[in-house]
Amino acid sequence: MMSSTSSAAEKLVVRPGILDIEPYVGGESKLADGQRVIKLSANESPLGPSPRAIEAYRDLAGSLHRYPDGGSVALREAIARRWNIEAERIVCGTGSDELISLLCRAYAGPGDEVLQSRHGFLMYSLGALSVGAKPVFAPERHLMTDVDALLAAVTPRTRILFVANPNNPTGTLIPSSEIARLHRGLPPSVLLVIDSAYAEYVTQDDYEPGIELVRHAPNVVMLRTFSKIFALGGLRIGWSYASPAVTDILNRIRGAFSVTLPSQAAAIAALEDEAFLRLSREHNDRWQPWLTQQLAALGIDVPPSAGNFVLARFESAPAAQSADHALKQQGIIVRRVAAYGLPESLRITVGLEDEMRALVAVLTQWRHPS
């Protein structure tokens, strides 16, 4: 029985590119012996979601037999009000990950290239491979998105250019003027996707998440998520803002009911809770610079981060592994980023005060064993 099933499976033809995909491995959350963990590996907000979002989610427990509104109308209207944009140009999806996949499906295929920067977010290259397109990586300068290098890597086959700003896992940000320059240098046949997953954490003045560019350019998409500052990663809600033409394409291929009923309600409630959002931002404003300074004092280099995480750069890959091991021994899980071409680095999410102090204490002991 087994052998006939497997020989049947061997006859199935998998599309080009799929077997080149290494399945995405998210930040770890458990340790072998089940000890209490401090999870700083997935850029989740340590304060969790707004209590109003949790309440809205719970309120729908009695309605789980109902399909959600497939068009996420109320959620799109809430997003539109908050950012002063048009609801008709928004598409909601199962996390921004789904929208990344949809964009690749809609605009790239075999023979096409999907461009990103060297240490850009991995989902872009996975999305490209899954549709048979070729991921292309442009070099960065000092771990920063390099506009000139990206423009130099554009070829007649380039279909999509993904830029996360701030970028994950480096945390680095380029000013809006640079994003505008990037857009000006692109042929109109290339879709520029500005992934602003961490926009709400940015404090720099010369930053704009992409709304202005989308408003005026038909070949720009901005992606946003409820997984980061709104702390609803477990519910999987993301959204895009794009031209009417791109929005129409996404609406044709998206899942009919891709955002669940309680997810839509929780996201709307989270949006309305300004005070909680402020609290989450203030927490990051305080503890992200603190973490950066403490790591620097231990001789661990940290590129300036505009997000709710930092990239801790050790002197070598073995040093990063050894630090990771020391942290794990004490139940602290951070993110290895070798898959991003950064084997000498660990990405550390900003956690609660006691979690930050515990992490620094372990690294201090690791650096200066007593």
For ligand PLP, which residue of 140, 146, 178, 195 counts as binding (CB under 6 A)? 195
Q: Measured from the CB atom, is 159 or 335 closer to ligand PLP?
A: 335
Per CB under 6 A, 197 contacts ligand PLP: yes
Per CB under 6 A, 140 contacts ligand PLP: no
> Is 179 in contact with 222 (CB distance < 8 Å)?
no
Per CB under 6 A, 44 contacts ligand PLP: no
For ligand PLP, which residue of 45, 50, 145, 225 counts as binding (CB under 6 A)? 225
Q: Report the distance separating Cα 234 and Cα 199, nearest Å.
A: 19
> Is 115 in contact with 140 (CB distance < 8 Å)?
no
Looking only at residues 318 through 347 of this chain, which bind ligand PLP when binding is defined by CB under 6 A? none
Stretch that binds ligand PLP, among 94-102, 106-114, 143-151, 247-255 (CB under 6 A): 94-102
- Residue 370 CB, nearest approach to ligand PLP (Å): 36
- Residue 263 CB, nearest approach to ligand PLP (Å): 11
CA angle 57, 62, 66 (to 5 degrees): 90
Q: Measured from the CB atom, is 16 or 137 closer to ligand PLP?
A: 137
- Residue 121 CB, nearest approach to ligand PLP (Å): 4
Q: Measured from the CB atom, is 197 or 271 closer to ligand PLP?
A: 197
DSSP state of 33: T
| One-letter-per-residue 3-state SS of 311-356 | EEECCCHHHHHHHHHHHHHCCEECEECHHHCCCCEEEEECCCHHHH
> Is 224 in contact with 196 (CB distance < 8 Å)?
yes
Stretch that binds ligand PLP, among 89-97, 128-136, 141-149, 212-220 (CB under 6 A): 89-97
- Residues facing 242 on adjacent strands: 221
152: how many CB neighbours lie within 10 A of its CB? 12
The whole-angstrom distance between residue 101's C-alpha and the CA centroid of its chain comes to: 13
- Residue 233 CB, nearest approach to ligand PLP (Å): 5
For ligand PLP, which residue of 102, 164, 182, 358 counts as binding (CB under 6 A)? 164
**Contacts for 197 with CB less than 8 Å, ≥ 6 apart:** 96, 164, 168, 223, 224, 225, 227, 228
Per CB under 6 A, 227 contacts ligand PLP: yes
For ligand PLP, which residue of 68, 95, 127, 210 counts as binding (CB under 6 A)? 95
Q: Measured from the CB atom, is 41 or 294 closer to ligand PLP?
A: 41
- Residue 43 CB, nearest approach to ligand PLP (Å): 5
Total chain residues near ligand PLP (CB under 6 A): 13
Closest CA to 87 of 103, 71, 102, 100: 71
The whole-angstrom distance between residue 96's C-alpha and the CA centroid of its chain comes to: 7
Looking only at residues 261 through 300 of this chain, which bind ligand PLP when binding is defined by CB under 6 A? none
Q: Which residues make up the interface to ligand PLP (CB under 6 A)?
A: 43, 95-97, 121, 164, 168, 195, 197, 225, 227, 233, 238
